Amino acid sequence: MPTDGLDQAIISAGLALLTADVQLVVFDGVVPNPTPTPPYAVVYSTISRPSEDPDNSANGRTSVWVARWIVHCVGSTASASRAVAQRVRTQLLDVRPVVSGLSCGLIRMEDDTQPPQRDESTGVLVMDSVATYRLRATS
């Protein structure tokens, strides 16, 4: 089945912004085994196509993409986790990515950010804060 590739292009644009910070280690949804030493960011990405958006085409075709990057900012301390979160925010917030074939808005931070939480699931204490960034694009 053919695809226009736009979903992956949007997600890749956000990941490219993050990896442009060469001091920021970024994993796309999977942390390698064995687990690396923090700090790092783990990014989970989603795309939605809201069917009732007022910017959809008059012909009924969905022409709106909403991308979300849910970023886990992992550090060995709460302070280190916040430092990763700040690097992520610097790379994403208020940036207008370029995706061929789409008109992209600015990347915004959603309000459901979570402060650093203890995670000892790997046997080593790390602190993990979570922030979600959203982009709305139209064709």
**Tens digits of residue pLDDT in 35-89:** 899 999 999 999 998 767 666 566 667 788 999 999 999 999 999 999 999 999 9
pLDDT at 139 exceeding the cut of 90: no
What secondary structure, in 3-state letters, does the chain show?
CCCCCHHHHHHHHHHHHHHCCCCCCEEECCCCCCCCCCCEEEEEEEEECCCCCCCCCCCCCCCEEEEEEEEEEEECCHHHHHHHHHHHHHHHCCCCCCCCCCEECCCEECCCCEEEEEECCCCCCEEEEEEEEEEEEEC
> Is the separation of the CB atoms in 89 and 39 below 8 Å?
no
pLDDT of residue 70: 98
Mean pLDDT of the chain: 91
Among the listed ranges 1-5, 12-16, 124-128, which one has the minimum average pLDDT value? 1-5
pLDDT exceeds cutoff 60 at 2: no
* Predicted confidence (pLDDT) per residue in 124-135, tens digit: 889 999 999 999
**Predicted TM-score of the model (pTM):** 0.90
Give the pLDDT score at 4. Answer: 78
Residue 124 sits at the vertex; the CA angle it makes with 90 and 34, to the nearest 5 degrees, is 80
**Which pair of tokens denotes residue 76?**
């060995």
Share of the chain above pLDDT 90, in %: 72
Q: What is the pLDDT of residue 39?
A: 96
- Beta bridge partner(s), residue 41: 26, 73
CATH class of 6-138: alpha beta
If you average pLDDT over residues 82-109, what whole number do you get?
Answer: 97
